[in-house]
């Protein structure tokens, strides 16, 4: 790394989830934060990145899908997820260095795993961090970090293995002639590299920059591979400023036939890139600020050396072949443009170098461009990640020439559902496990291929909540979930504790997470007080019944130690006992059921009211549920009468009503006429012994001449006719009811 140059910050966007490599996800953030979409030709400046959450030197890396949806990004020191939060886990060491120090490589034939390969500053270790994007709800987690080699130069490149199942990661040991070829498989990176000792040894040493001593820059410079993966080009910066070509055997990982094609001391051999057909090699020199072309189609080493042609000056940064077949060049720091070689396969000036091709508006470049085209081995088919029990969807990555497919999901217990012929198929996995899924495809030309992939259907975390429960009398309930290291919990209120105390009713949920799956359980808590009974005595009408209904919630009721019911219909007077029981206790109470008595009311016989006399009527008042209403609207149980008339009263309760009336007549002490004779001959004249006026309440006794009583009435009503008596004179005694005097006299009965 050249510390005199401003820091460089870019993001390499690499696809995952089985998308084709071509033109997929080639978006970079370079220099001051310019976002450039290399999926288009010409590349489009699409804006400036927001304030970065990370700081970077000459490198960074990232992963996204083909639509540019960011999964994670890194500056080599830390990793941020798609929400710009630090990803769980940490990287090893420090990664200050050049662009080529860091690669984000999807694991071969994997959908979810990424290798973040980075190194320490000039001569530091080579590290690998493995990221699993299935974890943390798709936000990813660094699941492992390891040191691949203790000390390396700042050179890295990727070449596919011919088996189409693995990759070669190629680096260079620091202060050595050793090239290191690490095999990357779907199971990980082989820890023991293939070592090839050849070529130059960049001398270790120090140099002073602005009064500060650093290791020298001989370890810097790009290592790149030709498009066919057979040739390597290696640049050594610093005092040496050399350029080597080497042969690479992708079957064995062995590097051979090192040859020096350029040695230009102190010019700063830095950026490298092959043309798409591999016939040309381009080199940028950071100190002399020049862009050179070498014609590799020449047959001899001298002719290659002599083919060196200056293409442009003031070009001293990274070179990068893009998906459109053009090579893009960084002119240096603080430029608002990216430059381009339009026809990199062409010789000399016919390569058509153009300055200021991509305008970055207010943003500017520094030194770096991302790696855009190195080979990634995507799965032949992809599947949607799921946990057991669950359904996963399978689809071919490339079905353009496929005429048929037969899936085998390695799940014989599923019976006939274990296979399918749809291009996009689903399979339900009841049990977790490792399954070897195959897709046998037939192409348009009749060829058949069997594609296979080992997939994992993980198990969700296993834990239980207590069943729905009751809290008695505002007590509290404590739930303690199992607390193994592999399970994390989150309650609906955000708490992550495995223990929780409940004091209120409600429905609560908790989600348990393991590395790959989650499970959510719910519990409903109800509160319950100890049973209460408040039974009052009841009185009902003699011909009615009463329905007793008690609250039914979680409580049982026993009547008189026999009947169990919350409701009972009663009509028989008696004393009843009820026992109420629930989970919080029991209580008993009793009540008496009785009848209202039948109503009767009697005002007595009609009465005579004498002068200055009052009559008081008193009715029964012992029953407070009885109501009296008199004809005048009064509602007392007593009534004083002082004038004649007809009086009535109604007596009622909630069951019935009865009434009675009384006639009160007045009797005045005045002159009245007592007849001396009467003749009961039915002529309508003097047929009875009639007093005028009628003397109500009077008593009358009649005697014959021998003193024998022949008629008597205690309430004489002018009704003595003498029908059964012979004619003659009769004697009477008449009692005045008001004065109390007895009037004596005779009367002649005439027939």
The string of DSSP letters for 517-563 reads -EEEEEEEEEEEPPP---PPPEEE-TT--EEEE---TTEEEEETTTE
Average the pLDDT over each of 60-64, 166-170, 254-258, 395-399 and give the range with the smallest value: 60-64
Q: Give the chain's length.
A: 751
Question: What local confidence, expressed as pLDDT, does residue 65 receive?
Answer: 66
pLDDT category, 47, cuts 50, 70, 90?
Answer: confident
pLDDT at 264 over 50: yes
pLDDT at 340 over 80: yes
Three-state SS at 242: strand
Q: Do domains 11-359 and 607-667 have the same CATH topology?
A: no
- C-alpha to C-alpha distance for 514 and 460, rounded to whole angstroms: 7
pLDDT at 7 over 80: no
Question: What local confidence, expressed as pLDDT, does residue 22 receive?
Answer: 31
- C-alpha to C-alpha distance for 58 and 1, rounded to whole angstroms: 8
pLDDT category, 247, cuts 50, 70, 90?
Answer: very high
Q: Which CATH class is domain 381-457?
A: mainly beta
How many secondary structure helices (H) and strands (E) does the chain include?
A: 1, 61
The radius of gyration computed from the CA coordinates of the chain, to the nearest angstrom, equals 58
Give the pLDDT mean for 544-555. 88
pLDDT category, 79, cuts 50, 70, 90?
Answer: confident
pLDDT category, 3, cuts 50, 70, 90?
Answer: very low
Question: What local confidence, expressed as pLDDT, does residue 561 receive?
Answer: 84
The chain-wide mean pLDDT, for the chain, equals: 86
pLDDT at 419 over 60: yes
pLDDT at 57 over 50: no
Task: Report the CATH architecture of 11-359.
Answer: 7 Propeller (2.130)
Give the pLDDT mean for 483-498. 91
Give the pLDDT mean for 244-266. 96
Which range of 236-240, 405-409, 443-447, 615-619 scores highest in mean pLDDT? It is 405-409
Question: What local confidence, expressed as pLDDT, does residue 658 receive?
Answer: 93
Query: Considering all CA atoms of the chain, what is the largest pairwise distance in Å, rounded to the nearest integer?
Result: 191
pLDDT at 187 over 60: yes
pLDDT at 14 over 50: no
Give the pLDDT mean for 191-195. 97
Residue in this structure with the two tokens 């014609």, named with its chain if needed: 295
Question: What local confidence, expressed as pLDDT, does residue 212 receive?
Answer: 62
Three-state SS at 632: coil
pLDDT at 366 over 90: no
pLDDT at 232 over 80: yes
Give the pLDDT mean for 378-406. 87
pLDDT category, 689, cuts 50, 70, 90?
Answer: very high
Q: For the chain, which residues make up each domain, given as ranges?
A: 11-359, 381-457, 469-528, 538-594, 607-667, 677-749
- pLDDT tens digits for 556-581? 999 998 888 889 999 999 999 999 99
Average the pLDDT over each of 201-210, 303-312, 566-575, 693-702 and give the range with the smallest value: 201-210
- pLDDT tens digits for 99-157? 456 888 888 877 789 999 988 777 889 999 999 988 888 899 999 999 999 999 889 99
Residue in this structure with the two tokens 């207010």, named with its chain if needed: 362
Angle at 372 between CA 367 and CA 378, to 5 degrees: 150
Residue with the larger pLDDT of the pair 615 and 247:
247
Give the pLDDT mean for 23-29. 56
Give the pLDDT mean for 230-235. 96
Give the pLDDT mean for 524-543. 90
Number of CB atoms found within 10 A of residue 334's CB: 11
- For the chain, give percent helix, strand, coil, nearest 5: 5, 45, 50
Give the pLDDT mean for 416-437. 96
> Which pairing describes strands 538-540 and 546-549: parallel, antiparallel, or unpaired?
unpaired
- Percent residues over pLDDT 70 in the chain: 89
Question: What local confidence, expressed as pLDDT, does residue 524 receive?
Answer: 95
- C-alpha to C-alpha distance for 175 and 187, rounded to whole angstroms: 31
Average the pLDDT over each of 302-316, 540-554, 571-585 and give the range with the smallest value: 540-554
Average the pLDDT over each of 261-275, 412-426, 682-696 and give the range with the smallest value: 682-696
pLDDT category, 10, cuts 50, 70, 90?
Answer: very low
Q: Which CATH class is domain 607-667?
A: mainly beta
DSSP code string of 372-431: --------SEEE----SSEEEEEEES--TTEEEEEEE-S-GGGGGGGEE--SEEEEEE-S
> Which pairing describes strands 585-595 and 563-564: parallel, antiparallel, or unpaired?
unpaired
Question: What local confidence, expressed as pLDDT, does residue 661 receive?
Answer: 94
Give the pLDDT mean for 742-746. 92
> Which pairing describes strands 242-249 and 231-236: parallel, antiparallel, or unpaired?
antiparallel
Residue in this structure with the two tokens 């008629």, named with its chain if needed: 711
Task: Report the CATH architecture of 469-528.
Answer: Sandwich (2.60)
Average the pLDDT over each of 334-348, 498-512, 670-684, 714-728 and give the range with the smallest value: 670-684
Take residue 298 and report the two structure tokens written for it: 């020449």
Question: What local confidence, expressed as pLDDT, does residue 624 receive?
Answer: 74
CB 278 within 8 A of CB 228: yes
pLDDT at 387 over 80: yes
Question: What local confidence, expressed as pLDDT, does residue 379 receive?
Answer: 63
- C-alpha to C-alpha distance for 676 and 685, rounded to whole angstroms: 14
CATH for 677-749? 2.60.40
pLDDT at 430 over 70: yes
Residue in this structure with the two tokens 């007392």, named with its chain if needed: 636
Which range of 81-85, 553-557, 635-639, 667-671 scores highest in mean pLDDT? It is 635-639
Q: Is the peptide bond before 41 cis (omega within 30 degrees of 0)?
A: no
């Amino acid at each position: 790394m050249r510390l005199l140059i401003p820091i460089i910050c870019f993001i390499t966007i690499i696809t995952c989830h089985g998308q084709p490599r071509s033109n997929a996800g080639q978006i970079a953030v370079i220099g001051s934060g310019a976002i450039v979409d290399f999926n288009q030709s010409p590349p489009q400046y699409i804006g400036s990145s927001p304030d970065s959450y990370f700081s970077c030197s000459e490198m960074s890396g990232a992963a996204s899908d083909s639509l540019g949806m960011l999964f994670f990004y890194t500056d080599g020191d830390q990793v941020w997820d798609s929400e710009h939060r630090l990803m769980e886990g940490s990287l090893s060491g420090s990664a200050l260095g050049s662009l080529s120090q860091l690669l984000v490589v999807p694991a071969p034939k994997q959908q979810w795993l990424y290798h973040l390969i980075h190194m320490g500053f000039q001569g530091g270790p080579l590290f690998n961090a493995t990221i699993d994007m299935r974890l943390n709800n798709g936000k990813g987690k660094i699941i492992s970090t390891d040191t691949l080699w203790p000390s390396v130069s700042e050179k890295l490149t990727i070449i596919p293995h011919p088996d189409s199942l693995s990759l070669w990661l190629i680096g260079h040991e620091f202060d050595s002639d050793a090239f290191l070829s690490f095999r990357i498989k779907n199971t990980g990176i082989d820890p023991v590299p293939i070592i090839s000792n050849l070529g130059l040894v960049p001398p270790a040493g120090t140099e002073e920059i602005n009064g500060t001593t650093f290791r020298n820059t001989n370890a810097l410079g790009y290592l790149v591979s030709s498009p066919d993966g057979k040739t390597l080009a290696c640049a050594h910066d610093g005092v040496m400023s050399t350029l080597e070509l080497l042969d690479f055997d992708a079957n064995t990982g062995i590097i051979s036939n090192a040859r020096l094609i350029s040695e230009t001391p102190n010019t700063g051999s830095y950026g490298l890139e092959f043309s798409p057909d591999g016939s040309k090699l381009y080199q940028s020199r950071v100190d002399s600020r020049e862009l050179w072309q070498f014609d590799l189609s020449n047959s001899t080493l001298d002719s290659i050396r002599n083919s060196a042609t200056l293409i442009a000056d003031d070009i001293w940064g990274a070179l990068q072949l893009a998906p459109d077949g053009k090579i893009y060049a960084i002119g240096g720091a603080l430029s608002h443009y990216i430059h381009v070689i339009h026809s990199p396969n062409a010789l000399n000036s016919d390569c058509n170098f153009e300055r200021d091709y991509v305008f970055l508006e207010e943003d500017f470049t520094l030194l770096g461009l991302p790696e855009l085209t190195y080979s990634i081995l995507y799965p032949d088919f992809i599947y949607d990640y799921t946990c057991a029990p669950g359904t996963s969807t399978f689809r071919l990555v490339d079905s353009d020439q496929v005429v048929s497919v037969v899936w085998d999901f390695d799940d014989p217990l599923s019976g006939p559902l274990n296979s399918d012929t749809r291009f996009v198929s689903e399979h339900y996995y009841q049990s977790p496990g490792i399954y070897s899924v195959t897709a046998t495809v037939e192409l348009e030309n009749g060829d058949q291929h069997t594609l296979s992939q080992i997939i994992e259907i993980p198990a969700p975390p296993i834990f239980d909540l207590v069943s729905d429960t009751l809290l008695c009398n505002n007590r509290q309930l404590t739930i303690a979930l199992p607390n193994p290291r592999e399970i994390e919990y989150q309650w609906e209120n955000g708490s992550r504790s495995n223990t929780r105390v409940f004091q209120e009713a409600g429905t609560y949920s908790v989600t348990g997470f393991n590395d790959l799956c989650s499970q959510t359980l719910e519990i409903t808590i109800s509160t319950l007080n100890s049973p209460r009974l408040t039974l009052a005595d009841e009185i009902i009408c003699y011909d009615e019944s009463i329905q007793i209904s008690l609250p039914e919630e979680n409580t049982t009721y026993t009547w008189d130690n026999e009947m169990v019911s919350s409701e009972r219909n009663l009509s028989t007077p008696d004393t009843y006992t009820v026992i109420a029981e629930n989970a919080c206790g029991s209580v008993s109470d009793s009540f008496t059921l009785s009848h209202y008595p039948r109503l009767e009311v009697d005002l007595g016989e009609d009465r005579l009211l004498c002068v200055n006399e009052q009559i008081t009527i008193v009715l029964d008042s012992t029953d407070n549920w009885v109501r009296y209403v008199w004809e005048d609207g009064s509602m007392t149980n007593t009534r004083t009468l002082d004038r004649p008339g007809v009086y009535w009263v109604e007596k009622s309760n909630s069951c019935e009503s009865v009434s009675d009336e009384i006639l009160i007549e007045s009797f005045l002490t005045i002159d009245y006429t007592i007849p001396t004779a009467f003749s009961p001959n039915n002529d309508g004249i003097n047929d009875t012994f009639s007093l005028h006026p009628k003397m109500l309440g009077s008593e009358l006794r009649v005697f014959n001449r021998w003193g024998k009583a022949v008629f008597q009435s205690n309430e004489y009503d002018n009704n003595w006719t003498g029908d059964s008596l012979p004619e003659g004179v009769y004697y009477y005694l008449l009692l005045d009811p008001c004065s109390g005097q007895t009037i004596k006299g005779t009367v002649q009965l005439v027939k």
